[in-house]
Structure 1
Amino acid sequence: MTIKRLPTNSAAMFDTIGLIGVFLILLAYFLLQIEKLRSEDLGYPVLNLVGAVLILVSLTHTFNLASFVIEVCWIAISLYGIAKILRRRG
């Protein structure tokens, strides 16, 4: 079984998707550091979740095992954080 590679111009699209994901994760952390966002706010884990999913999407074009593992963990932690916040809200 062979894996078909997408045309080269699609590589730029996947890179862009991944970079948007990186930006969202860094934005969440920056907003936390400047106290514009709290870790208890739903926006914090949601930004992290969306960012990690976008990075994971970019890895479907050029796979990297280490990046895949950290993004799956990032997603799991973000989902845990979202569930915790939603449980507190009742």
Structure 2
Amino acid sequence: MNTPLDWPSIIGLCGTACIIGAYAYLTLAKATNPFVLHGTNLMGAALLTVSLIYHTNWASLVLEGFWAAIAIFGLARAWRARTIEGEKS
């Protein structure tokens, strides 16, 4: 494999690090903050999408779309839960 390490690839590697970091956080933390978890996953999906736009891989691009959608859903659910808790106080 003789693929150069260009800017889109470096951005994609940062996205990969975000997703792996979020998974490690979920696995290792005693209690997780959903904003950190889903926000990091969303950032990872966005960065990988940038890379995949330049180096197109349709299967991976679809995967990142679903990954981002799930992260957005998780953020919205966490935001709603936070709002409901604020109203109870």
Change (3 A) 1:24 1:36: farther
Whether 2:47 is the aligned partner of 1:47: answer no
1:20 and 1:57 map into 2 onto residues whose CA distance is 11
- Give the gaps of 5 or more residues in structure 1: 1-8
1:79 paired residue number? 72
Aligned to 1:25, which of 1, 19, 22?
19
Identity among equivalent positions (%) equals: 36
Tell me which amino acid in the other structure corresponds to 2:10: T
Q: Is the 8 A contact 1:49 1:74 kept in 2?
A: yes
Tell me which amino acid in the other structure corresponds to 1:76: A
Change (3 A) 1:15 1:78: same
Pick the structure with more helix per residue.
2
Change (3 A) 1:36 1:56: farther
